[in-house]
């Protein structure tokens, strides 16, 4: 099977790429998202350089350019990941989704018991030979949304059925959330919330979703009740908790919830030092900020280059800069929704929307923590916080979204897009046939087939348009989900 892969991988008569115009001519997909990536990359380098001064004096003898250089390298690698992943046809991820999901489960289990611990949480594993660490939950998130998109696209005809439709799509979500939660509850809640949104848009029964949310809220309510009940003698009562609750870091989250509910206004509490310094940074920033590199709280605020980088941005660029950053993330979501609506195939539509949801919701949670609208979580600001495995996986997710946009663009304008060429865009009918043929393979159950005879091959070609029409009918539009909600389905 070549078909759709040829659409994504063939080059056409393009420039050599030595100039900026040549590089731009080789990029495809949503140009606004490309611009957003560049803007966030610039913001990231400025903010990381400004916020890592104390780290430089602690660990690099005052060489403040070290972390800037590292961030430039991460940004360059990340842009390369975006470029190459957007050139690959997105249907590839449907074929490897199950493998990635199955690989992420044992990795999460290994991380939970044998991973590297930082800030009381076991979230990282160290790769042998290259001696690098990465957060396994990042791989798990990405593989889950690939696998979930594949399942939703295959089960649209039975999606309202509890046994045939709902159970198969909710089990993977539950597995990943349960394995992530002990070491990183905030990420587990993020994954769970994003999955519920995707399932809702995927036309899963509202009754089933509400039931799932109710079950998921039970441990959250239990945690809040413990935080309220243990307020007077927290240390003594936490010590009496069962051992498995200590493994799940329940005392840590009890402390965070208590600080959020009771002590957020008490300046003398050591537990609130981080959030209070964040508030000071925001207050000093005012409307227009102190200017680039002029932050006064970066040496006092813990993790100003990762968890609380948004506070440094507001301090240096003011509420105007913070508002602009919020606008950028919301614009990214709107462009992804546009891709979702235009994509004629279920898997691509679900994949683009699910990945965009998780990135934007993560950004909003990070910002909410900074202004004390949400308990301290530890999630980073996508594409802005100092580089690491999370930064690179974010770039891969954006590249996949652009890959979906690229295929949509080719189907809409097969011959008139700038810098395309006949080799890149054969014909609208051929592209639709190729992608439909590949999508149908993903929708249908996998069975072993003998080699087709010429007669069968002819019949297969003749029915491609019928299969494409069937797939188009399964397109997961938002208005379908809203109609289902109104009808009480």
Q: Give tens-digit pLDDT for 292-302.
A: 989 889 888 88
Closest by CA to 440, choosing from 11, 75, 91, 107, is 91
pLDDT one-digit tens code per residue, 118-134: 665 667 787 777 667 78
Q: What residues pair up with 177 in beta bridges, in sequence order?
A: none
Question: Are the beta carbons of 308 and 301 closer than 8 angstroms?
Answer: yes
Q: Give the chain's radius of gyration (CA, Å).
A: 24
Residues in the chain: 489
171: alpha, beta or left? (left if phi > 0; alpha if psi -120 to 50)? alpha
pTM metric for this prediction: 0.79
Question: Are the beta carbons of 436 and 457 closer than 8 angstroms?
Answer: no
Q: What is the pLDDT of residue 415?
A: 45
pLDDT < 50 stretches in the chain: 1-17, 267-268, 415-428, 430-431, 434, 440-460, 462, 469-474, 476-478, 481
Q: What is the pLDDT of residue 114?
A: 83
Q: What is the pLDDT of residue 351?
A: 95
Residues 6+ apart with CB under 8 A from 198: 145, 148, 149, 152, 350, 353, 354, 357
The encoded tokens of residue 429 equal: 């009918």
Residues 6+ apart with CB under 8 A from 105: 140, 175, 176, 179
- The Cβ of residue 280 has, within 10 Å, a number of other Cβ atoms equal to 17
Closest by CA to 67, choosing from 78, 56, 57, 59, is 56
Q: What is the pLDDT of residue 470?
A: 47
Residues 6+ apart with CB under 8 A from 246: none
Torsion angle in degrees (nearest 10) through CA of 43, 36, 146, 74: -40
Q: What is the pLDDT of residue 448?
A: 34
């Amino acid at each position: 099977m070549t078909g759709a892969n040829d659409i994504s991988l063939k080059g056409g008569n393009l420039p050599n790429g030595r100039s900026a115009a040549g590089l731009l001519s080789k990029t495809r997909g949503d140009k606004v998202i490309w611009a957003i990536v560049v803007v966030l990359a610039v913001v990231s380098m400025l903010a990381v350089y400004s916020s890592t001064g104390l780290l430089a004096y602690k660990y690099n003898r005052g060489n403040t350019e070290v972390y800037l250089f590292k961030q430039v390298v991460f940004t360059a690698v990340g842009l390369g990941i975006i470029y190459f992943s957007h050139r690959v046809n997105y249907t590839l991820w449907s074929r490897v989704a199950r493998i990635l999901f199955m690989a992420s489960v044992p990795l999460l289990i290994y991380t939970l018991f044998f991973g590297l611990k930082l800030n009381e949480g076991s979230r990282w594993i160290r790769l042998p030979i290259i001696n690098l660490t990465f957060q396994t939950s990042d791989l798990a998130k990405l593989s889950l949304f690939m696998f979930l998109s594949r399942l939703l696209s295959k089960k649209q005809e039975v999606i309202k059925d509890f046994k045939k439709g709902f159970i198969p799509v909710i089990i993977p979500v539950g597995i990943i959330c349960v394995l992530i939660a002990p070491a990183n509850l905030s990420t587990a809640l993020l994954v769970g919330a994003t999955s519920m949104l995707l399932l809702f848009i995927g036309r899963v029964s509202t009754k089933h979703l509400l039931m799932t949310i109710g079950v998921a809220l039970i441990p959250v309510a239990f945690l809040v009740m413990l935080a309220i009940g243990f307020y007077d003698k927290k240390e003594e009562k936490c010590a009496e908790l069962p051992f498995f609750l200590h493994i799940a870091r329940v005392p840590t989250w009890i402390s965070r919830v208590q600080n959020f509910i009771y002590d957020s206004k008490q300046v003398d509490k050591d537990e609130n030092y981080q959030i209070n310094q964040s508030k000071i940074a925001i207050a000093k920033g005012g409307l227009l900020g102190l200017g680039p590199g002029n932050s006064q709280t970066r040496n006092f605020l813990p993790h100003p280059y990762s968890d609380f980088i948004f506070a440094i941005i507001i301090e240096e660029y003011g509420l105007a800069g913070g508002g602009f950053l919020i606008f950028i993330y919301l614009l990214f979501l709107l462009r992804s929704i546009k891709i979702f609506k235009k994509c004629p195939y279920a898997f691509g539509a679900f994949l683009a929307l699910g990945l965009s949801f998780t990135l934007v919701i993560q950004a909003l949670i990070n910002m909410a923590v900074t202004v004390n609208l949400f308990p301290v979580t530890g999630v980073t600001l996508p594409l802005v916080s100092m580089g690491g495995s999370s930064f690179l996986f974010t770039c891969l997710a954006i590249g996949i979204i652009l890959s979906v946009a690229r295929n949509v663009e080719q189907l809409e304008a097969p011959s008139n897009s700038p810098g395309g060429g006949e080799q890149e865009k054969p014909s609208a009918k051929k592209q639709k046939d190729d992608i439909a043929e590949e999508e149908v393979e993903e929708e249908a159950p996998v069975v072993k087939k003998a080699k087709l005879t010429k007669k069968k091959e002819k019949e297969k070609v003749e029915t491609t348009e019928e299969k494409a029409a069937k797939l188009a009918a399964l397109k997961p539009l938002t208005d379908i989900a809203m109609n289902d909600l109104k009808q009480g389905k």
